[in-house]
Structure 1
Amino acid sequence: MTLSTAFTASFGVRHPIALAPMGGAAGGALAAAVSRGGGLGMLGAGGGEPAWLARELPLVAGCGKPWGVGFQSWAIGPAAVEQALECEPTAVMFSFGDPTPFVGRVREAGAAVIVQVTDLEETRQALDLGADVIVAQGTESGGHGARHGRSTLPFVPVVVDLAAPVPVLAAGGIADGRGVAAALVLGAAGALVGTRFQATAEALVDAPTAEALVRGRGQETERNRILDIARSSRWPAKYTARTLGHPYLDRWRGREDELVGDPEATRRAYRADVASGEVPPAPVWAGEGVDLVTDRPPAADLVATLAAEAADALARAGRH
């Protein structure tokens, strides 16, 4: 059973599954593997660091299938977008911030514009900009998202109704084929999957991170700003990050103002704790669906598995 949607038709992909452009994990090899597997692989370009892009873009640009690149709108400038467009992506995705300065150039280059939204105000802005696809991100998602966002289940249908006929991808807590099926039932044209693809053979994560994802449980995840503050990250305060447990969460929970109060001292202390091994070098970004991560398969195989599970779930639901 092939799951054909407005998303698969528009992008010429076999399955209604897209790789979340996760900074630090979704490199060129992972994006290419997802695209070859029949989904839409999305390179996680983050703030658009030129050397990183120069290394990773060729790995996906030559995959022979539709592919895309995702940026953090608040962190990039025009040069990063131009560097990506030189490789002729099928789509460019913008998340977290105002993508207005970049949309016209992407459209001029012939690439589709995908905009991730975390509330209805952002949805309306994305539609006013003429986004070709909207990604509705619920708070169950791993990594960064809205501090005061909404859960995926109630958020996606509202965005679907508001955006119609623009296709919507559901994101947040989707880590198996049943989640993909649920997204389709909610009216989405597909699913954007992140955490599950971090635990694949091609993901740019080290062995301890991959092991933590396989062992992790949803109740162990927490959405917070503590680690951004401690690491001196420039992420805007309106976006928090969902991670697995971390010593700094236990140490500073409810005391964020103290961390903010002396940023230089905080930075020194965090670096010292990393150097001593008291805290891990980086947070483990993980969504609430991390319970469903049990192995590290090749990403192309995972795409096929998710699609087959989704088709089976929909068929079983239809028999009841």
Structure 2
Amino acid sequence: MALSTSFTELFDVEYPIALAPMGGSAGGALTAAVSRGGGLGLLGSGTGDEDWLARELPVLADQGAGKPWGIGLWSWAVDDGVVARVLEHRPPAVMLSFGDPAPFVERIRSAGAALILQVTDLEEARRAVDLGADVIVAQGTEAGGHGARQGRSTLPFVPVVADLAAPVPVLAAGGIADGRGVAAALALGAAGVLLGTRFQATAEALVAPATARAIVDAGGESTERNRVLDIARGSRWPAQYTARTLGHPFLDAWRGREGELSAAPLPAQQEYQDAVARGTIPALPQWAGEGIDLIDDLPSAADLVATLAAQAETALARAAGR
């Protein structure tokens, strides 16, 4: 196993590559494909919605070939009852992101699941170590979807967290979309990577075809981190978390006026709903990270895992040769 790390050993997976549990889009088929491909698939449960899990878990069970997997939850959006119900499905791993994970740690540990905690700053990283995380994900601001408004870039953030957390395995997240990024993360001291946007552009992702195609066609300069779209669509996401998305008409209309929008959101929210009903905007923002320049196809996620690993091995060998 050329890319063996403490992360691959912990979960008995072939490659140090994990699927970001993207809320709603990392469904059973995508989770299963990543795990079958030799990585760790993480189901994007988010709020722990029972109906969504009832639909996606059988798909994962049917297609996962008995490989390791996990479930991701947003700490701010769940309570102890939700976590307890999720654990009834016996996930080998549970990842908590965005918010205080402390109320759920003991229940997860008691269930025998590995605890993965995502962090966006050093205070959160220290807290994750203190809580006894089995794996820590260091998310940089280049990441697509939600992250800390006052976060850090992936390149300087990951090695600091890796040093702080050692010997706990750290996964790098944010702006990584090919094997060179995987190799770079390993060189920075990470034990692997957590990829979101790259896996959104795969055959198994639960995204609209137009969104997958937009990720392939767009460039990193087309992404923008903001709260405008959360406010406009009436989302409950806490204000400290912004989201990196592709361009959107509401961003153009409200850029630089977030305070005004927050103070009187109802007219804009109605306008947003009307535009969705007319089909002039997608129902959901198109989450995308800065690494989308490196995405030019829509492969099977299982094949993609092996491709990323091969690219990483080549990059590491090339660097060693120099």
Q: Do they superpose with TM above 0.5?
A: yes
Between 159-168 and 48-57, report the one with greater CA deviation. Answer: 48-57
Question: In 1, Cα distance between the equivalents of 2:17 and 2:71?
Answer: 15
Deviates more, 1:270-279 or 1:246-255: 270-279
Aligned length: 320
1:300 equivalenced with 2:279 (yes/no): no
Deviation at 1:272, TM superposition (A): 1.2
Alpha-carbon distance in structure 1 between the residues aligned to 2:81 and 2:288: 30
1:161 maps to: 163
Single out whichever of 301-310 and 75-84 deviates more from structure 2.
75-84
CA offset at residue 128 of structure 1? 1.0
Equivalences for residues 218-237 of structure 1 within 5 A = 218-237=220-239
Report the residue type matching 2:229 in the other structure.
L
User: Among 258, 265, 283, which residue is 1:256 paired with?
Assistant: 258
Q: Which residue of 2 aligns with 1:241?
A: 243
Measured against aligned partners, the alpha-carbon deviations of 1:136-191 in whole angstroms (never above 9, x if no partner) come to: 00000000001010100000000001001111000000000000000000000000
Is 1:274 matched with 2:276?
Answer: yes
180, 183, 193: which one pairs with 1:181? 183
Q: CA separation in 2, counterparts of 1:263 and 1:245?
A: 20
The code of the aligned residue for 1:188 comes to A
Whole-angstrom distance in 2 between the partners of 1:305 and 1:36: 13
Alignment of 1:14-163 (within 5 A): 14-62=14-62, 63=64, 64-163=66-165
**Structure 1 residue 192, shift from structure 2 partner:** 0.3
Structure 2 SS opposite 1:213 = helix
Provide the secondary structure at the position in 2 that maps to 1:309.
helix
| Aligned counterparts of 1:58 and 1:95: Cα–Cα separation in 2 | 24
Does the 8 A contact of 1:15 with 1:307 survive in 2? yes
Kindly indicate whether the alpha-carbon contact (under 8 Å) linking 1:5 and 1:16 is maintained by their aligned counterparts in 2: yes
- Shift of residue 229, structure 1, vs aligned partner: 0.6
Per-residue displacement from partner, 1:28-82 (whole Å, max 9, x unpaired)?
A: 1100110011000000011111100111122224520100000000001223322
Listed as ranges, the gaps of 5+ residues in structure 2 are none
SS of match in other structure, 2:259: helix
CA contact (8 A) 1:61 1:67 kept: no
- In 2, Cα distance between equivalents of 1:227 and 1:165: 39
Displacement of 1:291: 0.9
State yes or no: 1:284 paired with 2:286. Answer: yes
Aligned equivalents of 1:306, 1:60: Cα separation in 2: 22
Amino acid paired to 1:91 = A
SS of the residue corresponding to residue 146 of structure 2 reads strand
Q: Structure 1 residue 13: deviation in Å?
A: 0.3
Q: SS at 2:247's partner residue? A: coil
Check the 8 A contact 1:57/1:84 in 2, yes or no.
Answer: no
Whether the 8 Å CA contact 1:61–1:87 is kept in 2: the answer is: no
- Write the distance in 2 (CA, Å) between the matches of 1:224 and 1:235: 12
Q: State the identity as a percent.
A: 71
Measure the CA separation in 1 of the matches of 2:50 and 2:14: 31
Which letter maps to 1:40?
L
After the TM superposition, which parts of structure 1 deviate over 3 Å for at least 4 consecutive aligned residues?
A: none
Equivalent residue letter for 2:228: I
* Equivalent residue number for residue 217 of structure 2: 215
Question: Aligned letter for 2:107?
Answer: R
Q: For 1:93, what is the secondary structure of its paired residue?
A: strand
In the superposition, the TM-score normalised over structure 1's length comes to 0.98
Q: Give me the TM-score of the superposition, normalised by structure 2.
A: 0.97
Mapped partners of 1:88, 1:276: distance in 2: 42
Q: Distance in 2 between matches of 1:55 and 1:215?
A: 31
SS in 1 for 2:157: helix
RMSD between aligned residues: 1.0
| Cα displacement (A) at 1:263 | 2.5
Q: Deviations over 1:181-222 (max 9, x none)?
A: 000000000000000000111100111111111101100000
